[in-house]
Amino acid sequence: MKLHGYFRSSASYRVRIALNLKGLTVEHLPHHLRKGEQRAPDYLKLNPQGLVPTLIDDQGDVLTQSLAVIEWLDETHPTPPLLPADPLKRARVRAFAMAIACDTHPVQNLKVLARLRQLGLPEEQVTAWAAWANQDGLEACEALIAHETGPFCFGDAPTLADLCLVPQLANARRFGVAVEKFPRLMTAEAATKSLKAFADAAPDRQPDAE
């Protein structure tokens, strides 16, 4: 398989963790987002949104959108499972993942911040916007799992929720959010630290890391 991504892309980071947990190796095809390589005509044929990641499977099928890619990986390579078997628990894990992937990450994405700059917002306000988006989203995430048993977001093994949380915490730190004020999220993140699948997926371990 081939993964079109970028070392610092948190959506690519989610997929990298999933691939590692499933024991799957892929060829990494980096696109430098700050140089606009995600908008190259050839790449837009694969991913018309001009976003990473895009996964190409062994048959050459093209898969986009990190959550859809991860669920496809989970269905085609069920061990270890990334979603609980119980439908109610599965809905809660997906809700947590979507709180990050649908409501937090998109409003602090590179192209949104670039648009704010284009509209004349000074750099410190652009950063303040991104920090607020992360702070607001993570605050809700902290509450969503406050009463869930740990140490991971949902129980004693990583799920789709942890795959979304860890990369988002990296973004939050980059924008200066004091994430230590979220004790339940810190417990979940600490649990992932012992797993090689998470360590190997980190941005600074990628071939295109700067």
Write out the residues near ligand GSH by the rule CB under 6 A.
9-11, 33, 38, 51-53, 65-67, 101, 109-111
Shortest distance in whole angstroms from residue 149 CB to ligand GSH: 27
Which residue type does 24 have? L
Which residue type does 101 have? A
Q: Which is nearer to ligand GSH, 18 or 51 (CB)?
A: 51
Q: Which is nearer to ligand GSH, 77 or 111 (CB)?
A: 111
Question: Which value, to the nearest 10 degrees, does the dihedral of the CA atoms of residues 48, 21, 154, 67 take?
Answer: 10
Q: Take residue 159 and report the two structure tokens written for it.
A: 């799920």
Q: Which is nearer to ligand GSH, 30 or 53 (CB)?
A: 53
E strand map for the chain:
2-5, 27-30, 54-56, 62-64
Shortest distance in whole angstroms from residue 156 CB to ligand GSH: 26
Which residue of this chain has its Cβ atom nearest to ligand GSH in the complex?
111
Q: Which is nearer to ligand GSH, 38 or 159 (CB)?
A: 38
Q: Are 189 and 11 in contact (CB under 8 A)?
A: no
Shortest distance in whole angstroms from residue 38 CB to ligand GSH: 5
User: What is d(CA 64, CA 45) in angstroms, rounded to the nearest whole number?
Assistant: 12
Collapsing DSSP to helix, strand or coil, 5 comes out as strand
Shortest distance in whole angstroms from residue 52 CB to ligand GSH: 4
Q: Which is nearer to ligand GSH, 52 or 165 (CB)?
A: 52
Shortest distance in whole angstroms from residue 15 CB to ligand GSH: 8
Shortest distance in whole angstroms from residue 101 CB to ligand GSH: 5
User: What is d(CA 206, CA 209) in angstroms, rounded to the nearest whole number?
Assistant: 5
Residue among 137, 113, 136 nearest 125 (CA): 113
User: What is d(CA 103, CA 145) in angstroms, rounded to the nearest whole number?
Assistant: 17
Q: Which is nearer to ligand GSH, 16 or 184 (CB)?
A: 16
Residue among 58, 13, 5, 61 nearest 33 (CA): 5
